[in-house]
Structures are given as C-alpha cells and as structure tokens.
A and B are shown apart, each in its own frame.
Chain A
C-alpha cells in the first residue's frame, strides 16, 4: 500500500477512501513553550496539503512528530485508518512517511548517491551494498526529477541549493505513502521550483499524500489542494485552497491584515558614496565587477543561481580573497580577505546560510545577538550584562522574535526566528554598509513586512544596504537601484524607475 516514485506501478494501489495519515488532538510542549495545542491534521491520499503559519507557529514541530523525531505529549496518529505508534524516525520511515526537513540533514562526507540511499542501501548477493545500483538509481532519480546534481559529488562540497535537491531526491528514493516537504524551495531557483512542482504533482497522481510547507504564498496557491493554518501552536483553519484569497490566508496566519508589504518611508538617497567597488575579480567566480552604493540607498542585486551574488557578498565584506580590484568602505580601503578590518570600517554581512556561517546553536539567544557588538556593552573589560540584555530584548520585541526567554538556546528556535536573531546581531553593531544575502529566506509574511520596514528604516538612517535577492517582488519593492548579475559579471544597473521584471530577467540570462 505504498508507492515507489522510481518504479511506479510495482507496489499495490493505494486506497483513496481512507485518510493516508490522520493526526488527532496532538499536544507538544517544550520547556516554556506550547508548540502544539490539540492540533488535528488529516491527509488525503493523492492530495497536496499546504501547512502554513508564522515563524514558530508549530509547523516543523508537527512534522517532526509525524517523523518520529519528537514524541507527542498527547493525541493519536492513524495511518490508513490504523492507529500507529511512532516512537522513532525508524518507525515513521517504515510507515512510508518521508520527510524533507527544513534544515539540511545529510552526511557531508558521503557522496550524493550514498546520502540518497542512506535510509536503506540496496544490497546484492550476501547482503553487500550494491554500489552500482545506488549510482544508477540516483542518476535515474535526478533524471526523472530534472535536477542537475552529480551523484558522485561529495555532498558537503555542494552549495545549499543542490543539497536541498539531494534532500528532495532522497524522499523519493524509497516507497512512500506520505511525503512531507518543510520549506523545500528556500534556496531553489524559479526554474527548479517548477521542476519540483511537476514532481509533487506526479507524486499526488500516484496516490501519495503530500505535505507542503512554505512561506511563499504564490507557491502555495499554485500547488496546494488543501491548506491548514496553524497559529501559536493551535489549529486555525483547514480549507480547500479555492476558498482562500491572499488576504484571508494572511489573516488566518497572523491574525491581522497587512496592507502594504513595501511601505517606503525613507527619502531619496544622498550623494555620499558609502561603498565603492572597482574591477573586483575572484579566482572562482567574479569577473571585473564595479559599482558603488550611496549612503541611504538600497542597492538590490538580482541574479539566477550561480550568478555570483553570494560570492560578491562575501568578497566585499572581506570574507573571501580576491584576485584583483579594490573595495572602499566609507573612504577607507578594505583589506581583502580580512573580516576584522571589514567590521572596523563598518561593513557587515548577513548570510544566507545561517547554520554554518552565522549562528551558534548551543549559545543562548542573547549571546548570539550581541556577539558582534560586545564592545558596546563593555565596561572596563567586563560585559555590562544588564545593558546587553536590554539591547537584545529591544530587538526581540521589535522583530517579535518568538522565544521563551533571552536564555533559550538558539537551536531550539524555529527556523525563521533564528534568522531574525542573526539580523539583530548585525543591526545592533551600528554599520555604515550592510550586505544582506537573501534576508527573508524562510521568514513568514508578517516578519517579512517588518524586515522590509526595517531595511527601509536603515537606509533612512543613512546606511547603504546592499541586498542580494532572488525574490523579484522584494527586489522591485525595496531597491533604489537594481543591479543584475550573470555568470560572475555585472550585466546591468538600472534605477527603480527603469527596472521592469522583463529587463531584469533579460540581464540575468546574460
């Protein structure tokens, strides 16, 4: 009673009359947090069910309960009408529940192919691993999906987007009854997203129930049959997507309306050049990139995957070495490949990969937030804790970072709330230039509007904001000027008035 994506038609057909998975009255508490409160969630076979809600609403927690990662405090789980006891990921996998987790869960030392079959290696005679089959099947799987990933590559050496594709492929490598995707598209390009959607529709056609979590409303309207909304750990609504509009969905999610995602309060940018980059090249990617960003300006960089936005971001703040060119921050030349002078000159980077490059999961919220600005809280060599806590609390309130206290370990926050902590860190520092790389990745609409308002305010206060984004609305809604990259080169810079979606995409293709 489950279906194999790679070899459809081999398993028994799925009974479409009984819910594939039925969660009833699920409760889950963490110290200081009620993550789920009496939540019901029913999945019909062959249906794509979106799970929506703000950061910290409990989506990932609900998924982790299905996946056996967390035990539930109360409630029942039924698979095809039969009550099941899911005590560990193993039990859940055996029931045919395959999850693409929000945070990448791959063994970085293994090859892509091996990661795909981690859950169960195909074995040949005598129980030895059939490596040939593993390589062939993973190549076939990528072929079927249309993703371009090398099965023989070492997983840890791949960019986040490709790792995400590996995660997705892995969920399809074995027989499944329920496939769950927790923000699977957070680092995919539009093209890859549409490939994924084709796959999801194919899964549904095979009778598999699909759960789809995303903060991108347009995606949800495109792909979902049903929508369930959670808020503060409670079930708010479950409806066919046809009964929702953008507004009703946002209202269900955050309990209020958002009128304008991009309110522009700041004036026009000044004339002072805050960041000046000339003929910048790096060994791997960038080729002769020149631009300037003025104080009070939001300069948006657009580009397709691999265009070199992240590389540019890292180079101009001094993270990565450069082969030629010059970077001037606020009139002083930045020493390449030296973050310390970067920080001193007042340029900071907000990374897209919060796990490996930003946050320290074991440390509490307040230390993660204040890390880059400890100097401001120091008094005679000691940290003024009270001052530090007040400053952090201020950001927690402003961004509505959902945490039981300043002392919670950051790894226990929901994905979106982790992102907010990271943003706070850099804002707290008082910078002249802030480089943000995909600032709203994995962030809910409510918080997005706050971050947009904040970027607007930062520019209003005289900072130069260099924003790398792959979100067109964000780019057009926020930027004073738009720069477009392709294959490591700058292909266009245009003013807000000139910029249209079409011109930008043309420049991005090169």
Chain B
C-alpha cells in the first residue's frame, strides 16, 4: 500500500472550499459583498432606515418566494403568482368595502387563492399537464379576468381599516415593517417544515425522484397538489400586503412579479429540476437582488441597467453552480 500517495490525494479541501460548498454560505458572502460595495459607493445606503425599507420591499418576494421554491423543489413551476397578486385583491377590497371587516376580506382572498392553487395543482398533478403550461394559462386567464372586471380602473379601498393600513406602513417596535415580520415568520415556519417535517422531506423526495418516492409509498400527485396550494396561498398573502401598500385593487398589480421571484429563487440555488435547494437560499437570493436594485438606484443608475445587470447575475450564478456540481460529480 502506498499511503503517501493516497494521503496527498485525499487531503481535506480548504476551509474556503468547504464554505463555498455550502450554497447558502456562498450566497451570504455575496449578499455581504453587495451591501459593503453599496455602503461605500452609494450615499444613504447604509442606514437603518434604508436597510429596513429594503427588507419591507423584499417581503413580497420573500413571501411568495417560499411557495415558488417549494413548487420548484417538488419538480414543478408556478408562474401564475404575479397575476394572482392582482386577482385576490378584488375579493379582498370588495369584501372589506362591503363588510368593514379585515378578517372577512382576508378570508375571501385566501379562499380565492386556495381555489386557484387547487386548479393549478389538479391540472398538473392529476390531469398530468405540464405545470409551466398550466400556470402560464392561469396567469393569462387571471390577468385578463382582472382587466375585464375592473375595466382597467383601480378599485380603491374605501373601508380604510386601521389594521389593513398598518400592513403597509406599520412597524414592529417602530423598526421592522410588519410585512417583513410576516415574511420572516412564514419563512421560518416553512423552512422548519421543509427540513424537519415528514411532509417537507416528501416534497424533496418527490422532486428528487418521483419514481423512487412512489416506491417508498408516497402519493406523488397529492404532494404536488398540496405544493401548488401552498404556493397560491403564500402569493395571496403577498397580494394582501401589496393591496394594503397601494390602498386599492390594481389591474396592473404584480405585473412581472413572477419573474422577479423565479429569478431570485434560481439565484438562491433552487433547481428547476426539482429536489435541490433550500428556502434560506431562496431568501438570500431575494435579498441580494433587492439590495442590488436599491443600491443601483442609489447610484443613480436607470432601471434599464438594473434589468441588464440582474439578468447577467442570474446567468452567472447558475453557470457557477452548474460548474461546481459538475466538478463534484466528475472529479
């Protein structure tokens, strides 16, 4: 036996290499770099006010991103969430205007979201239609429906309930926006589910290898169905916060929102192929993009450039990831 040669070959990877092997750590380093960069270059970037503002802005994508990531992990996609944001604002605002009750309005919105999730889930999991097609379809149908119903005019929130308005500008301890608190609580709860509850692991298994999951006795279709419902419900929560922020039901609400969320989720290392990724990765992806766009705006760069830079970062991140994975398999 030649111990010398095997020892030199199997030397443990360096600390840095090991850190970067954990996707989340690499993302965290990126996030810190982004924040440091703009703190140095952009005025008024590194202030408590701006930081918490960004957090508040990120809360919509964080909330909906949970659902987006869960559906990705189950091996499907859901791009109907942007239109859902606009759609559920209708029952929300209309019921609140009629009843003066936040509870009833929110219940109505959630029920609506549940139905949309069930439709997406049924058509994908049970009818076997490709989820990209299904949710592309429901995305158009909902957006069209909202345009038709509102006649392209906003429906204002006449009830002006304090509790509803607090969703948009209230802050916990006068520091953290309530919307961010909601996002963080949901994120923690679902991250726990994905890691420590049997159902969370079933989602990973179903996305990782549906045939193996079936052999292990899982009801693959049911798992996927529920993932779509989770996604729609979380998008509904995001939609409620958005409606509170704009104080009305807008037909253009959440336009292109699904792509922001998908971009952040992919950046966060959640694989479209299913079975790979984490909610913390997704959250870091959302924060990186949000701070980036905030910082670029601080530098006075026009929105057009933000789009270009975001696009390049996503491709670079996924390419980096892919290269790393290939090295892990091939080497």
The residues of A with any CB-CB pair to B shorter than 8 Å are: 67, 69, 88-90, 93-94, 99, 101, 105-110, 114, 118-121, 123, 127-129, 131, 157, 281, 283-284, 287, 487-489, 510
Q: Is the CB of B215 within 8 A of A105?
A: yes
Query: What 1/0 flags go to B207-229 for Cβ under 8 Å of A?
Result: 01101111111110000000000
Q: Is the CB of B201 within 8 A of A114?
A: yes
For B276, what are the chain A residues with a Cβ–Cβ distance below 8 Å? Answer: 109
Interchain CA distance A109-B9 in the complex, whole Å: 25
**Residues in B181-220 with C-beta less than 8 Å from chain A:** 196-198, 201, 204-205, 208-209, 211-219
Number of residues on chain B facing chain A (CB within 8 A): 26
Interchain CA distance A281-B2 in the complex, whole Å: 12
Interchain CA distance A106-B9 in the complex, whole Å: 29
Give the residue name and chain of the A residue nearest to B2 (CB): A287
Give the residue name and chain of the B residue nearest to A64 (CB): B215
Q: Is the CB of A284 within 8 A of B9?
A: yes
Q: B1 in the interface, Cβ–Cβ < 8 Å?
A: yes
Q: Is the CB of A106 within 8 A of B198?
A: no
CB distance from A289 to the nearest CB of B (A): 12
> Knowing that A94-B217, A109-B276 are A-B contacts, what are 9 other residue pairs whose CB atoms are under 8 Å apart, sorted by A's residue number?
A99-B215, A101-B215, A106-B209, A106-B212, A108-B208, A118-B213, A119-B217, A128-B196, A129-B201
Q: B5 in the interface, Cβ–Cβ < 8 Å?
A: yes
Q: Which of A89, A109, A284, A510 contacts B216 (CB under 8 A)?
A: A89
Q: Is the CB of B214 within 8 A of A129?
A: no
Interchain CA distance A99-B217 in the complex, whole Å: 12
List 9 contacting pairs A-B, 8 Å CB cutoff, sorted by A: A93-B217, A105-B212, A119-B216, A121-B198, A123-B198, A127-B197, A129-B201, A283-B9, A283-B331
For A121, what are the chain B residues with a Cβ–Cβ distance below 8 Å? Answer: 198, 201
CB distance from B51 to the nearest CB of A (A): 33
Q: Which of B5, B197, B215, B331 has the most CB of A within 10 A?
A: B215
Q: B275 in the interface, Cβ–Cβ < 8 Å?
A: yes
Interchain CA distance A28-B152 in the complex, whole Å: 59
| A510 with B1, Cβ < 8 A, contacts A107-B209, A123-B198 known | yes
Q: Is the CB of B5 within 8 A of A287?
A: yes
CB distance from B190 to the nearest CB of A (A): 14
CB distance from A160 to the nearest CB of B (A): 14
Q: Is the CB of B2 within 8 A of A109?
A: no
For A89, what are the chain B residues with a Cβ–Cβ distance below 8 Å? Answer: 214-217
Interchain CA distance A291-B218 in the complex, whole Å: 51
For B197, what are the chain A residues with a Cβ–Cβ distance below 8 Å? Answer: 127-129
Interchain CA distance A157-B201 in the complex, whole Å: 19
Q: Is the CB of A110 within 8 A of B205?
A: yes
For B217, what are the chain A residues with a Cβ–Cβ distance below 8 Å? Answer: 88-90, 93-94, 119-120
Q: Is the CB of A107 within 8 A of B275?
A: yes
Helix, strand, loop or mixed for chain A's interface?
loop
For B208, what are the chain A residues with a Cβ–Cβ distance below 8 Å? Answer: 107-110
Interchain CA distance A253-B195 in the complex, whole Å: 49
Interchain CA distance A114-B202 in the complex, whole Å: 11
Q: Which of B1, B196, B204, B218 contacts A487 (CB under 8 A)?
A: B1
| A90 with B2, Cβ < 8 A, contacts A107-B204, A107-B209, A110-B205 known | no
Interchain CA distance A283-B11 in the complex, whole Å: 11
Q: Is the CB of B209 within 8 A of A489?
A: no
Interchain CA distance A106-B208 in the complex, whole Å: 9
CB distance from A154 to the nearest CB of B (A): 9
Give the residue name and chain of the A residue nearest to B5 (CB): A287
Interchain CA distance A437-B213 in the complex, whole Å: 30
Q: Is the CB of B201 within 8 A of A105?
A: no
For B214, what are the chain A residues with a Cβ–Cβ distance below 8 Å? Answer: 69, 88-89
CB distance from B38 to the nearest CB of A (A): 35
Interchain CA distance A94-B219 in the complex, whole Å: 14
For B216, what are the chain A residues with a Cβ–Cβ distance below 8 Å? Answer: 89, 93, 118-119
Q: Is the CB of B198 within 8 A of A129?
A: yes
Q: Is the CB of B198 within 8 A of A127?
A: yes
Interchain CA distance A260-B183 in the complex, whole Å: 73
CB distance from B198 to the nearest CB of A (A): 5
For A120, what are the chain B residues with a Cβ–Cβ distance below 8 Å? Answer: 217
CB distance from A362 to the nearest CB of B (A): 13
Interchain CA distance A460-B1 in the complex, whole Å: 37
Q: Is the CB of B198 within 8 A of A67?
A: no
Give the residue name and chain of the B residue nearest to A114 (CB): B201
For B205, what are the chain A residues with a Cβ–Cβ distance below 8 Å? Answer: 107, 110, 118
Q: Is the CB of B219 within 8 A of A90?
A: yes
6 closest Cβ pairs, A-B complex: A90-B217, A118-B216, A107-B208, A93-B217, A105-B212, A128-B196
Interchain CA distance A99-B1 in the complex, whole Å: 39
Q: Which of A108, A129, A287, A510 contacts B209 (CB under 8 A)?
A: A108
Interchain CA distance A66-B279 in the complex, whole Å: 38
Q: Is the CB of B215 within 8 A of A109?
A: no
Q: Which of A88, A99, A129, A283 contacts B196 (CB under 8 A)?
A: A129
CB distance from B195 to the nearest CB of A (A): 8
